Amino acid sequence: MSDIIGIIDTGRAGNTFSIKQCINLAGGKWIDVLDANALDSVDKIVLPGVGAFHDAMHELATHGLVEALQQQIKRKPTLGICLGMQIMARIGFEHGKTEGLNIFDAEVKPMLCEGKVPHMGFNKIQLVEENKILKGVEDELFYFMHSYELVNYTDIASLTTYNSHQFVSAIAKGDIFGVQFHPEKSRDAGVQIFKNFIDY
């Protein structure tokens, strides 16, 4: 029997439907996680996210998921996607200062660059350190849509360059992974990301 992936309810996670479809294509099984009790019945965790750092953390707190996630993420393979990666940081500065899940020693700050923000469209990743989630997709294009970036110096898995500005596009620490891009909108390369996570 394959592992059950718990998809966390972060409120306005408009990418959730696409994530579920992508997991289906990759051959995985998923359930929605709406409260802390549901976390006990999953083997892996996906943190989706479209929206603002503050709103996502407020939604998790409302459903009693903050402390539960902080404990369970350390025990179960986890993949954070876009905002889902960002809220695993120590702190975020979107719409004020908000504490994150503090899984990674990182901060989330506005993306300051010469290019138009938000950074939208397909872009490449530059592998910094090999990990199983990015295996086989090192030369592929991924879809990005973000105005904020995660600043981290110790757990960088890949970097991406946008108008001469380099930012963290993937992080990894043990069994915990985060990607700034949207694999669910990245065609076959995105499906491969989920296959890698399912097989992890």
> Average pLDDT in the 41-58 region?
92
The span from the CA of 108 to the CA of 82, in Å, is 11
> Are 172 and 125 in contact, with CB atoms under 8 Å apart?
no
Extract the tokens encoding 58: 């407020």
> Are 143 and 188 in contact, with CB atoms under 8 Å apart?
no
pLDDT per position as a tens digit, 142-160: 999 999 999 998 999 999 9
Please give the single-letter amino acid code of residue 139.
Answer: D
pLDDT per position as a tens digit, 3-30: 999 999 877 656 788 999 999 999 999 9
Domain ranges for the chain, please list them: 4-199
Assigned architecture for domain 4-199? 3-Layer(aba) Sandwich (3.40)
Active site residues: 82, 182, 184
Report residue 35's pLDDT band, with 50, 70 and 90 as the boundaries. Answer: very high
Please give the single-letter amino acid code of residue 49.
Answer: G
Phi-psi region of 89 (alpha: psi -120 to 50; beta: other; left: phi over 0): beta
Task: Record the pTM.
Answer: 0.95
